[in-house]
């Protein structure tokens, strides 16, 4: 695959580049299908089926589903990519993308716990020592997650994985590819070959490392992911990024987890709840991080393996936060915003016994009142604006998306929604679901989820606008952040959604978990019923 500082690639004279036409579009579509195992060997997509094929690709790219080849598709498909074609996978080829939007497994895996590698040839762009160090680092990004050791082969010994640089042609857009041989169950030692295109310039170690991490994912048994921000996505659009939670879930599903999986970071019985503030996946705020509120009113932040007090007021009864901002509510209903400096807080909401709950989302703050109405902070002084409320039962819970869509679960179980700026023109409340079995709601990014009394977890498909059940295994609590969703079961175990309905990854099977929070990059923290706080080691 590829990375952020685009490598120097020798390109032909622009005048010799053919004008894009339907034949070129068809080639790109066929290449995409081969990279994802959607094309039967020896077959072609008929011209009449190309619009349908384009629509499937557009769903992967989160593009408007038009069936017409777009400029963005052309930009992606003419850019650098991985050359590892996947064997035909009938399930993936025939399953709608919204039912399977995650990592894909090749099938075979390494049947041993120590795997070796060696170079068959090197690039002339950097020293052999740098190349060996880069490869070791790339393998380490995978092995820190799973109980697998990957080490250089002994001198003159056969290696399990061979690495080489070779010319693929000056016009070839493939950064590299991996060839796989197996007996159907186990990967074949000495027959796993990772090839880097020597017509690219590899002096940028970031490019080299990113490409190596992608290709080594193949060498461990991963196919291409349909998650565009995953390292295992087949195309490179210019951003070097760390392993995505989807990449991690994929390799965990093959090899399990490296121990210890969890580490205890606090053991204070007075811990009342924990909060993770996380900005968008592309932006990190100085105040992002893990916080806890103790029953004494003390608020602490976890940084550099240490808890630091950011306030210690016995009147504090609640904390909330989003988009890099932390808020607290006092017993008298007054509200405060942390400045990020020691115990310095801005007073933003007057005391009011009608305020029962504050919820942050979409870079602002909302309050639920005892009379069931919702108010939103105007970001000016102590001024709040009341959002017109439907003449319906009281609000039970609210949740706000990244784009500030306000979701409201009413005491009747009905779910209503209002678009920002919540006025009578565009933001009138609309009943989205009138179901008395609804007991909780959650949002991650702009996605919406609801939990029902029977433990069923349901996702709202905003593209087709229909409800889809994603879990029926006894969920009693749901937490979502970004594109990640966590389900806490009645036995206290915690599960993470893979993106495929009914397929979940067990994150913690110890039981007794009282609450779970996470960030958009896959970090997870839990609170046990006795006040202990634990963090996922990876």
Answer whether 176's CB lies under 8 Å from 83's CB: yes
Apex 364 CA angle, 336 and 437, nearest 5: 105
Q: Does 100 count as an annotated binding residue?
A: no
Question: What is the three-state SS of 17-61?
Answer: CCCCCHHHHHHHHHHHHHHCCCCCCCCCCCHHHHHHHHHHHHHHC
**Residue 310, by phi and psi: left (phi above 0), alpha (psi -120 to 50) or beta?**
alpha
Residue 215 catalytic? yes
**Residue 221, by phi and psi: left (phi above 0), alpha (psi -120 to 50) or beta?**
left
Given the residues 63, 85, 94, 215, select the one marked as catalytic: 215
Answer whether 163's CB lies under 8 Å from 216's CB: no
Beta-carbon count within 10 A of 72 CB: 13
Pairing of β 192-197 and β 161-166: parallel
DSSP 8-state code for residue 208: H
Q: Does 82 count as an annotated binding residue?
A: yes
Q: Which residues contact 208 (CB under 8 A, 6 or more apart)?
A: 126, 131, 134, 196, 202
Q: Does 224 count as an annotated binding residue?
A: yes
Answer whether 150's CB lies under 8 Å from 75's CB: no
Q: Does 125 count as an annotated binding residue?
A: yes
Q: Is the peptide bond before 401 cis (omega within 30 degrees of 0)?
A: no
Q: How far apart are CA 360 and CA 358, in angstroms?
A: 7
Answer whether 366's CB lies under 8 Å from 357's CB: no
Q: Does 198 count as an annotated binding residue?
A: yes
Radius of gyration of the chain (CA): 26
Q: Does 176 count as an annotated binding residue?
A: yes
Q: Does 214 count as an annotated binding residue?
A: yes
Q: Does 218 count as an annotated binding residue?
A: yes
Point out the annotated binding site for Ca(2+): 125, 160, 176, 198
Q: Which residues are catalytic?
A: 215
Point out the annotated binding site for Zn(2+): 82, 172, 214, 218, 224, 232
Point out the annotated binding site: 82, 125, 160, 172, 176, 198, 214, 218, 224, 232
């Amino acid at each position: 695959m590829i990375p952020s500082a685009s490598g120097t690639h020798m390109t032909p004279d622009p005048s010799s580049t053919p004008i894009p036409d339907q034949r070129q579009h068809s080639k790109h579509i066929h290449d995409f299908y081969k990279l994802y195992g959607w094309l039967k060997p020896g077959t072609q997509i008929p011209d009449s089926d190309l619009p349908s094929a384009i629509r499937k690709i557009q769903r992967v790219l989160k593009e408007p589903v038009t069936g017409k080849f777009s400029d963005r598709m052309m930009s992606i498909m003419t850019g650098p990519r991985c050359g590892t074609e996947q064997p035909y996978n009938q399930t993936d080829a025939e399953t709608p993308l919204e039912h399977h939007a995650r990592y894909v497994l090749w099938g075979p895996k390494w049947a041993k716990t120590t795997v070796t590698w060696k170079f068959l040839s090197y690039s002339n762009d950097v020293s052999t020592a740098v190349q060996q160090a880069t490869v070791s680092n790339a393998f380490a990004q995978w092995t820190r997650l799973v109980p697998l050791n990957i080490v250089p082969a002994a001198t003159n010994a056969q290696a399990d994985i061979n690495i080489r640089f070779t010319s693929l042609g000056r016009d070839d857009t493939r950064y590299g590819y991996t060839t796989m041989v197996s007996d159907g169950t186990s990967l074949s030692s000495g027959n796993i070959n990772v090839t880097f295109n020597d017509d690219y310039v590899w002096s940028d170690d970031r490019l080299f490392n990113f490409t190596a991490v992608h290709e080594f994912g193949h060498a461990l048994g991963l196919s291409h992911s349909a998650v565009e921000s995953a390292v295992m996505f087949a195309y490179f659009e210019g951003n070097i990024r760390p392993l995505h939670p989807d990449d991690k879930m994929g390799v965990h599903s093959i090899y399990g987890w490296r121990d210890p999986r969890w580490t205890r970071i606090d053991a204070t019985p007075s811990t009342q709840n924990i909060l993770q503030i996380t900005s968008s996946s592309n932006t990190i705020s100085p105040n992002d991080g893990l916080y806890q509120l103790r029953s004494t009113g003390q608020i602490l932040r976890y940084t550099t393996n240490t808890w630091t007090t950011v306030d210690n007021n016995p009147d504090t009864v609640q904390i909330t936060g989003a988009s890099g901002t932390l808020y607290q509510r006092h017993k008298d209903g007054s509200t405060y915003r942390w400045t990020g400096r020691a115990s310095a807080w801005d007073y933003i909401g007057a005391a009011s016994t009608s305020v029962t709950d504050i919820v942050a989302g979409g870079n602002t703050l909302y309050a639920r009142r005892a009379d069931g109405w919702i108010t939103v902070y105007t970001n000016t002084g102590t001024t709040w604006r009341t959002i017109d409320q439907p003449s319906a039962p009281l609000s039970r819970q609210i949740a706000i998306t990244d784009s500030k869509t306000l979701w409201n679960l009413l005491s009747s179980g009905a779910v209503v929604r209002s678009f920002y700026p919540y006025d009578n023109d565009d933001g009138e409340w609309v009943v989205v679901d009138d179901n008395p079995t609804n007991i909780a709601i959650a949002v991650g990014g702009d996605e919406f989820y609801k939990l029902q009394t029977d433990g069923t977890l349901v996702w709202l498909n905003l593209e087709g606008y229909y409800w889809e059940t994603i879990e029926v295994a006894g969920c009693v609590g749901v937490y979502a952040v970004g594109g990640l969703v966590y389900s806490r079961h009645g036995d206290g175990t915690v599960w993470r959604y893979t993106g495929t309905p009914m397929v979940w990854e067990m994150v913690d099977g110890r039981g007794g978990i009282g609450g779970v929070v996470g960030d958009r990059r896959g970090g997870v923290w839990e609170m046990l019923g006795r006040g202990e706080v634990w963090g996922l080691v990876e």
